[in-house]
Amino acid sequence: MFDKLEDLEERLAIVLEELNDPDVTADQGRFRSLMKEQNELTPIVEAYRQYKGEKQNIQDSLEMIEQETDDEMKELAREELAESKEKAAALEEQIRILLIPKDPNDEKNVIVEIRAGAGGDEAALFAAELYRMYRNYADSNHWKTEMISLNENGIGGFKEAVFMISGNGAYSRLKYESGVHRVQRIPVTESGGRIHTSTATVAIMPEAEEVDVDLDLNDCRFDVFRASGNGGQCVNTTDSAVRLTHIPTGIVISCQDEKSQLKNKEKALKVLRSKLYELEMAKAHDAEAEARRSQVGTGDRSEKIRTYNFPQGRVTDHRIRLTLHRLENILNGDLTEIIDSLTAADQTAKLARMNEG
């Protein structure tokens, strides 16, 4: 590990030198690539330099304890030794985490797809609550939320909602949310007062750029129709809504949020690229089945990941056996503790695999 860190330190010096070269500054593509590399290397190298400083402090303290005759100075050296050992151990753990290979999608925006599952109208109401939860979480991170497609059930529930969350690191924070979310409560629509279990499916897809997916528009069929539901004066007056069918996969995407047919077409293509990209990611994950089993789930839509229990006011994430009795806060968008715990569990699993390797 330490040989690699020395190499990274040398590489950062080279990158910084190149960034000061006027020829590199003039080449925007090269400049952006080097800036990205600098941003990735800097935290690792800074932590390594701090680690080397603490190791030197340990050596100095040991020499002082051995050579010093004054008892008070020896005690001071022992205290400094203990403090430096503690800091060095923490920095070594931090460095190991920083050296975990980065997910290339972590900095991307995300397309979120929420679908009502088992439970009829109650499932649709729950899907709408999940949408509000993610929207509030996005707001707390100063991210932008943009609706792409919405299919409502008439009583405030969502049969399906597709929306984009744009912001730095959105995918890195939300990627563990894919899967089946369950709610246990007495439904508003239930007069008997019995607790029901309903579900909604969440899919988190990194926004795919054109370079990420080889999409042939000849494989796409576009149909236009009149929008329905909320949408302003143009609703039901123009054929602005778009239905996109990807013939090879059978994927169908409807988009009617915009009044412009062209904008709806662009949004539908954006969702299609992300869905195709997700399919490619799933194939790659299946090819690394053993590695995938040791990680926190990040994409299997059939995996039951979390239960929201209203009678007991608790939320349980089944993958890491985390239970929090803050249901209302979580549904209002306070997801930080859950996401931090999932990230830590995933890092621990990856570190264990690195150590085995």
**Per-residue pLDDT at 230:** 47
Closest by alpha carbon to 177, among 298, 278, 285, 331? 298
Contacts of 307 (CB under 8 A, 6+ apart): 181, 182, 183, 184, 315, 316, 318
Top-confidence residue, 29 or 322: 322
Strand order in the sheet with 144-152: 144-152, 158-166, 110-116, 196-206, 179-185, 304-309, 314-317, 322-324
Tell me the pairing of strands 179-185 and 304-309. Answer: parallel
Q: Are residues 71 and 128 in the same domain?
A: no
> Domain limits at 191?
107-357
Residue that is last in its domain, among 72, 98, 124: 98
Contacts of 103 (CB under 8 A, 6+ apart): 171, 172, 175
Q: What is the pLDDT of residues 241-273, one digit of tens each?
A: 888 999 999 999 888 877 788 888 888 888 898
Does residue 195 register a pLDDT over 70?
yes
User: For residue 174, is it left (φ>0), alpha (ψ between -120 and 50) or beta?
Assistant: alpha
Closest by alpha carbon to 327, among 305, 306, 312? 312
**Per-residue pLDDT at 177:** 95
Q: What's the structural domain count of the chain? A: 2
**Per-residue pLDDT at 357:** 56
**Per-residue pLDDT at 24:** 86
Top-confidence residue, 287 or 133: 133
User: For the domain that residue 279 is a member of, what is the CATH number?
Assistant: 3.30.70.1660
Does residue 232 register a pLDDT over 80?
no
Closest by alpha carbon to 121, among 151, 161, 156, 163? 156
Residue that is last in its domain, among 98, 118, 150: 98
Q: Are residues 10 and 136 in the same domain?
A: no
Q: Are residues 86 and 119 in the same domain?
A: no
Q: Are residues 86 and 113 in the same domain?
A: no
Q: Are residues 62 and 138 in the same domain?
A: no
User: For the domain that residue 18 is a member of, what is the CATH number?
Assistant: 1.20.58
Residue 186: both structure tokens together:
């007495």
Residue that is last in its domain, among 78, 98, 118: 98
